[in-house]
Amino acid sequence: MPADPLPTCVVCLGPAAAGWTTCWCCRRLAAQLGPVPTVVAVAVCGPGDRLHTAVRRYKDSPAAQERREQRRALRRLLQQFVVTQWRPMVGRLGRWDAVACVPSGRGTVPTRHPLQAVVDGVPALARYPRLELAGQPGRVDHLRPAADAFSVVRLPPGCRRVLLVDDVWTTGATATSAAWAVRAAGVEVAGVLVVARYVDPASSPRARRWWAAHHGGPAPARRRQSRSQPSAASTSSDQRGSDSGS
């Protein structure tokens, strides 16, 4: 049987090169910080599309009303996915006994991440005990995870296996860093549930073909951005054919 000319990474669900089961980003992260957590993605997003805008502005918009509206939209999206895809998700990741939201910033004092409000509105996830992570001084870059970026500040009694939840996955460096902290606390990582799997079709010809084949629609039009406000999830086109864009 011929190989899939547009394969999908078995770990992060992004584009992979022909002949590979994992993408270049996942291989590079794993070489630096160990296993990359297996991904289940609610939806794929691209630069400037509606979902990409939502996962940025639900926490960063200067308007409180917009933040609330975007959180409600993400909560509805996550709820619908969990209701309809629970069995496939458990089949891919296995069972877990706690849930943890991946922090987005640094700092030794734990703060309530806006994603927590989204997860709390999804009954199937809200019923699990919470493992809490806090940001630490370590810096996570686009393709460079950090063992000192996060720490576990609250571990539920008897917790053995945790589901990480993140708003967006680009290269996976942030979630991989969070997974390292969880494992360092003696807890297994089932995987990471991401609301948006970000792929930039303009990053490479392979990514553009993957988008057309697997996303089932035209590539989103890239919006022009000012030099002072770069995209938080932009990707580079010279990542040795890396097709997934942390």
pTM, entire model: 0.85
- pLDDT on residue 142: 86
Query: What is residue 1's predicted lDDT score, i.e. its pLDDT?
Result: 32
User: CA distances (Å), 244 to each of 27, 42, 139, in order?
Assistant: 12, 16, 20
Around Cβ 105, how many Cβ atoms within 10 Å?
Answer: 9
Judged by DSSP in three states, 214 sits in: helix
d(CA 41, CA 169): 9
Please count the other Cβ atoms lying within 10 Å of the Cβ belonging to residue 114. 17
Task: Look at residue 28 in the predicted model and tell me its pLDDT.
Answer: 96
Please list, residue by residue across 202-221, b when 16 or more beta carbons sit within 10 angstroms of its beta carbon and e when fewer do. bbbebbbebbeeebeeebbe
DSSP 211: I
User: Residue 100: how many CB atoms within 10 A of its CB?
Assistant: 32
Q: What is the C-alpha separation between 57 and 103, in angstroms, rounded?
A: 16
Asked if residues 104 and 59 have their Cβ atoms less than 8 Å apart, the reply is: yes
160 Cβ contact partners less than 8 Å away, ≥ 6 residues apart: 97, 187, 188
Nearest to 211 by CA among 195, 225, 200: 200
How many helices and strands in the chain, by DSSP H and E?
7, 6
Taking only the tens of pLDDT, the chain with its 246 residues reads 344 557 899 999 999 988 899 999 999 999 999 999 999 999 999 998 999 999 999 999 999 999 999 999 999 999 999 999 999 999 999 999 999 999 875 544 455 789 999 999 999 999 999 999 998 989 999 899 999 999 999 999 999 999 999 999 999 999 999 999 999 999 999 999 999 999 999 888 888 888 888 766 555 555 444 333 333 333 332 333 333 336
Residue 113 has a pLDDT of 82
pLDDT of the residue at 104: 75
Q: Are 222 and 48 in contact (CB under 8 A)?
A: yes
Domain ranges of the chain: 37-206
Q: CB count, 10 Å around CB of 133?
A: 25
Which listed CATH number (1.10.150, 1.10.20, 3.30.1380, 3.40.50) goes with 37-206?
Answer: 3.40.50
pLDDT for position 84: 97
